[in-house]
Amino acid sequence: MTESASGTAAVPIRFETHPSRYVHWKLEIEPPLARLLMDVVEERGLRPGYPLKLNSYDLGVDLELADAIARLRFEHPGVRAVVIASAKDRVFCSGANIYMLGTSTHPFKVNFCKYTNETRLALEDASQHSGLKSLAAVNGACAGGGYELALACDEILLVDDASSAVSLPEVPLLGVLPGTGGLTRIVDKRKVRRDLADVFASLGEGVKGKRAVQWGLVDEAVPLSRFPARVAERAGALAASAPARSGPGVELRPLDRKDRDDGIDYRHVTLDVDAAARVARLTVRGPEGEEPSDAAGMRERGSELWALRAFRELDDALLDLRFNRPEIGVIMLQTRGEAAKVQAADAALVVARDDWFAGEVVHHMKRVLKRLDLTARSLIAVIDAGSCFAGSLMELALAADRSYMLSAEGGPTLSFSELNRGALTMSNGLSRLQTRFLKDPGRAEVGAGEPVDAETALGDGLVTFAPDEIDWEDEVRLAIEERASLSPDALTGMEANLRFAGPETMETKIFGRLSAWQNWIFQRPNAVGERGALTLYGRPERARFNWTRT
């Protein structure tokens, strides 16, 4: 993969992979345990120009990690705990590859950090909702993003050998912030005291052994001679504490996307791109036939189940827009299909919610919709003739920054299902309806299955505008053209500020604080200028800072 000066990938990145194609990870399955071994191949970076030394990682390494987490959840229900470890001696992970960051475009750096954040949040989501516990077995140097990966695990064991340490060296060494939620997880998740966290984040060399335990940075520091046995003991205890899941796994089959010059075709999703206008149309179609109505039927249908396949396709399309089409500024969200079939598919998932597979499907839908929320593009829902904004697909309209619904006799309607009542929460822990109606929470209790026409939807605050047939085309066209003409920087900041009303969570802090500050710092001369710390890393020259604090 190479990048143009604008940040566009000259060779598009592909986001699907499979354990048989992993380059940098080894996945070993021995239920109830799994081992995920990081063994990064130096010369196999996603693009040329940087060696991946000391188990440092780039996007290609993290794509494999994300795939492994998803496959553990879907394909190996008998696994209750995963040990994340290194296959290299005396090094766990040295974090994101600094030379990769230093030579990447600004958009790529920010999107890379966002993706790694989402991957670690998926690991934490697996622990919270699937009972898939994780243990970081830190056998050596653990720096930056490597420690941030360990922080995403339920427990951290550090080898106590007088040299191994955990560290977040980004501030003192690179002039940037830890990019994958490390600062937030230290104080919010591990409850490390603020003054100790301040010292830790200012130390390039990190903290070792007993002090790391005393400060709360790791759970145990174990002598080298006892380290393998203690890791096995703690992993076994984690697996024993997790709820059992029975039955065979469900294979995640390839999506078989069809690429064209102006978009991508999937079975249930279509992406149409107008590069000149900087607008993309993202259409999601409801089920075409009858979907299984019980858990056994869902498991038999497997990854071809509409709710799983359609949202996997949507996820792939969102990542393609994020990394391969950075100049697209507006995404038009559209749906097609029959509302009754979407509602029936949703209802079946609700009835089967206690089945492990149905539960995983719903949590996957939730994570994909969060990816949509976090997409740095203007989202406009277009609800026209033939639309199917019902149930889980109604979440697309609720995620939009604004929505336009055609007001016409026999025109489109909106409808809801039980999944709209809190199963598909945002990063703030609320449903999109609850977030929309913070001032009047009772309005979030919409009736499931009841169709709502444009006039009612407008009056109930479910859509932004409801033009009639005479004004429809002009109003939608002008809204999209106007949005595409505005400053993308200002829009990104505005949208991120408005989308996550309500309570603050660890997730909203990671994306609302870290991503915003990192976006700014990654453009500052102190980090990326000719004499910036990130630019000069590995060279004999010292960084030259502008000392103005602002």
pLDDT tens for 39-90 read 999 999 999 999 999 999 999 999 999 999 999 999 999 999 999 999 999 9
Separation between Cα atoms, residue 415 and residue 393, nearest integer Å: 9
Separation between Cα atoms, residue 191 and residue 180, nearest integer Å: 17
| Co-location of 277 and 235 in the same domain | no
Per-residue confidence at 2, pLDDT binned at 50, 70, 90? very low
Residue 7, pLDDT score: 43
What's 243's DSSP letter? P
Residue 432 has pLDDT above 60, yes or no: yes
E strands, 165-324, where?
165-167, 207-208, 220-223, 258-260, 263-265, 269-274, 279-285
- The CATH number of the domain holding residue 97 is 3.90.226.10
Picking from 465, 491, 517, the residue at the C-terminal end of a domain is 491
Instruction: Single out the residue of 487, 279, 498, 325 nearest to residue 401, CA to CA.
Output: 498
Separation between Cα atoms, residue 444 and residue 425, nearest integer Å: 13
| Co-location of 291 and 345 in the same domain | yes
| Co-location of 228 and 79 in the same domain | yes
Domain count, the chain: 2
Residue 328 counted as domain residue:
yes
| Phi, psi (rounded to 5 degrees) for 535 | -65, -40
Instruction: Single out the residue of 130, 178, 114, 126 nearest to residue 377, CA to CA.
Output: 114
Instruction: Single out the residue of 71, 165, 83 nearest to residue 364, CA to CA.
Output: 71
Give pLDDT tens digits for 407-428: 999 999 999 999 999 999 999 9
| Co-location of 345 and 452 in the same domain | yes
CB-side neighbour CA atoms (13 Å) of 538: 10
Per-residue confidence at 9, pLDDT binned at 50, 70, 90? very low
Residue 297 counted as domain residue:
yes
Adjacent-strand bridge partners of 9: 3
Residue 513 counted as domain residue:
no
Residue 512, pLDDT score: 82
Picking from 491, 510, 542, the residue at the C-terminal end of a domain is 491
| Co-location of 129 and 263 in the same domain | no
- What is the average pLDDT score of the chain? 94
Give pLDDT tens digits for 12-44: 999 999 999 999 999 999 999 999 999 999 999
Picking from 491, 515, 536, the residue at the C-terminal end of a domain is 491
Per-residue confidence at 5, pLDDT binned at 50, 70, 90? very low
Domain range enclosing 432: 258-491
| Co-location of 222 and 275 in the same domain | no
| Co-location of 186 and 292 in the same domain | no
Residue 537 counted as domain residue:
no
| Co-location of 195 and 222 in the same domain | yes
Residue 351 counted as domain residue:
yes
Provide the token pair at 202. 């200012």
